[in-house]
Amino acid sequence: MFTSDGMLDTEIPHRVACASSAFARLHQAKFWSSKAWSLSTKLQNHKTIVMTMFLYGGETWSLLDKHLQQLSVFHMCCSRRICGISLLDDITNSVMLKRCETFPVGSQLRSKRLRWFGRICRMADSRLPKLLMHGKLVGQNCRGRPRTVWNDVVLFGIHKLKLNRCTRDALNNPVWRELTCVART
């Protein structure tokens, strides 16, 4: 659900609404507050059901800071509710993430993007995703700073992780899988 100008202003609220709906259904069923289920079972269900809906298609997003903030707020709200901790308990987000044994949303999205980048690198040159990744648009640019595109976001993630031989490493699937797991931390 991209807008005509390629922005994510409708997609991000839609993803949050879908995941919120799934989270609320489990809340209505008293799953999150039940003492019968361990915290690890609750977190596994959250990861499997809610986070899958929440980050669906996230490997193709080039997020603005406001979008990442919306995603992070929802993720932390869910994590706090699962653990039974309110904002008044004065527990930081980093402590919450360690307690829930999860990673920040930005790190999860970076890992998904890098995995998708690896898949594109291993595709045949005639495949559409690879053509789109290496393609350039012709024509005049608008005034001002160019928009951040997906390639820029992936390159930023690669530089942040100091992956020097990324395209060669991406061709080796086991090596690339290990490198993208490191991207989540």
**Domain locations along the chain:** 11-102, 109-183
> Residue 112 and residue 118: Cα distance in Å, rounded?
10
Structure pTM?
A: 0.85
Looking at this protein, which amino acid is placed at residue 157? G
Tens digits of residue pLDDT in 119-171: 998 999 899 988 888 877 788 878 888 888 888 888 888 887 777 777 778 88
Specify whether the CB–CB gap between 96 and 85 falls below 8 A. yes
pLDDT, tens only, 17-63: 999 999 999 999 999 988 899 999 999 999 999 999 999 999 989 88
pLDDT tens for each residue of 96-118? 999 998 999 999 998 899 889 98
Interhelix angle 105-122/150-160, rounded to 10 degrees, is 110
Question: What is the pLDDT at residue 132?
Answer: 83
Length of the chain: 185
Angle at 182 between CA 81 and CA 162, to 5 degrees: 130
